[in-house]
Structure 1
């Protein structure tokens, strides 16, 4: 997991979720075979796994409600009792403020819709797994080499042989990694994200990136405009102490979150530009692993790398629309 996302996803949360996943995978039977007590235990554990997801959704929807009710409403309504600090002393000023309010409302509503849609698709889309076919099985003699692997797979183990997973007992395609929380290998694994309760991999990376991208726009707009509400509340003699405290805390916390989210978005744009995953950047490039001073999967151009990550059609790069073929994710040029 990248250092930037650690601002959003603490080690303690990851450790707790990892322990819960291990408990589900190793210590509890399947749902159909579980007793009543075990089913209750499973439900409680899944509630803990979903807790970061619920926190994220609460922050996203709560921030939108705060922005609309405390800021957009007064720009659009332009009532006579609007606080003087807004300086709506003429019809022209009120008209400009109303236009601004509608523009901000449309942007924030559009971003909220795409964030929620992208989040759900990233959460419920399988990131991709190694097929259960003979081609990817590790032979009983332990020799995972084959002529086809030598031709098409670029990554090698420390001994120079085709990579294999000791847990899944399968050969690993390029860029695939084992996730202890999911208890399986995922194709082009980027990292495990507790905020979507899923791994980010080949088939759902685009949804994850679109979610972060529009989240950055939404929070950036909040930070750039909501300060007016802060000034209004602090200078209005009719504002209560509770309201002042609430507005200050809201703006401060969302601004801190915004710095992290925007930085995380920039980090992923840089990764796409250079055709890295978070695992490849953290575990290989930063440790100066041979062959990773530049990604061995680099397409040669920035446009090619963006196509590799977000699809062939630039018109839908920033929309949560599927662009991956079912047979993809095993081999990379």
Structure 2
């Protein structure tokens, strides 16, 4: 999938705010808590904290700049409807905005102005749809942001408790704990949707993909069997048949 960027001013502001929050948390916890508190002994903890920050920021950028699965546009003319070989074949869906025939699990996003294959939802924090080609990056963004914020909140709270410092208007631990809880909740929803093989839009419409095991759905989303590529927001390797299967399978739940 090619790199792209949605031209939505509001979404861009939310994406910038996300990186400001991640970077602020990293600088405050590393420079104002861990180093003054532990000195040279803080380096291993600071190093681990930097890793979580880099992975969270990387996953966010990958999710934002990856084509989520935009269905190719036609030549501007209404696309001809395919001839149905079976009487009981599902009805053909046409997008009146893109003027194309949509795959079974594709939906039109009014913000991206495109039909997106296996569209889950449009995320304002990543300024992009979460779809077939970037759902892996979105999952990793949630995982690493949750770890980063949880570690930040825990470190600051322990520092305050050990040193007898009153919490007062402690914005950093409160914000970190809030975003840790938010991302954990979103991650739980995503894993539940993967277990059902159902996108967010399909949940609202009462449809879903073919029933399958969570492990099989994860292999499809992550681009293969468990390995180091699961841990990094690198592009998903998926064959044409796998992509077609993921985009077309849909039925009423």
Q: When the two structures are superposed, what TM-score results if normalisation uses the length of structure 1?
A: 0.64
RMSD: 2.9
| Count of residues paired in the alignment | 239
Contact kept in structure 2, 1:144 and 1:164, CA below 8 Å: no
Alignment of 1:15-30 (within 5 A): none
Q: Given the alignment of the two structures, is residue 274 of structure 1 paired with residue 196 of structure 2, yes or no?
A: yes
Cα deviation code 1:86-143 (max 9, x no counterpart):
xxxxxxxxxxxx3xx4443233211111111111111111112223469xx642xxx5
Query: 1 CA distance for matches of 2:96 and 2:73?
Result: 15
Shift of 1:179: 0.3
Name the structure 2 match of 1:62.
24
Of 297, 319, 332, 2:210 maps to: 297
More strand, by proportion: 2
Query: 2 CA distance for matches of 1:263 and 1:205?
Result: 16
| CA distance 1:176–1:150, shift in 2 (3 Å) | farther
Helix, strand or coil for the counterpart of 2:98? Answer: coil
Q: When the two structures are superposed, what TM-score results if normalisation uses the length of structure 2?
A: 0.82
Q: Given the alignment of the two structures, is residue 116 of structure 1 paired with residue 57 of structure 2, yes or no?
A: yes
Helix, strand or coil for the counterpart of 1:314? Answer: coil
Name the structure 1 match of 2:84.
146
Structure 1: which 5+ residue stretches go unaligned? 1-20, 25-45, 79-97
Contact kept in structure 1, 2:120 and 2:199, CA below 8 Å: yes
Shift of 1:61: 0.5
Contact kept in structure 2, 1:168 and 1:185, CA below 8 Å: yes
Query: 1 CA distance for matches of 2:140 and 2:88?
Result: 35
Query: 2 CA distance for matches of 1:251 and 1:266?
Result: 22
Q: Given the alignment of the two structures, is residue 254 of structure 1 paired with residue 182 of structure 2, yes or no?
A: no
Q: Given the alignment of the two structures, is residue 310 of structure 1 paired with residue 222 of structure 2, yes or no?
A: yes
Shift of 1:324: 3.4
Shift of 1:67: 1.1
Q: Give the greater-gyration-radius structure (CA).
A: 1
| CA distance 1:51–1:132, shift in 2 (3 Å) | closer
More helix, by proportion: 1
Structure 2: which 5+ residue stretches go unaligned? 1-5
Query: 2 CA distance for matches of 1:313 and 1:150?
Result: 36
Name the structure 2 match of 1:329.
243
Shift of 1:195: 1.4
| CA distance 1:318–1:148, shift in 2 (3 Å) | farther
Shift of 1:201: 1.1
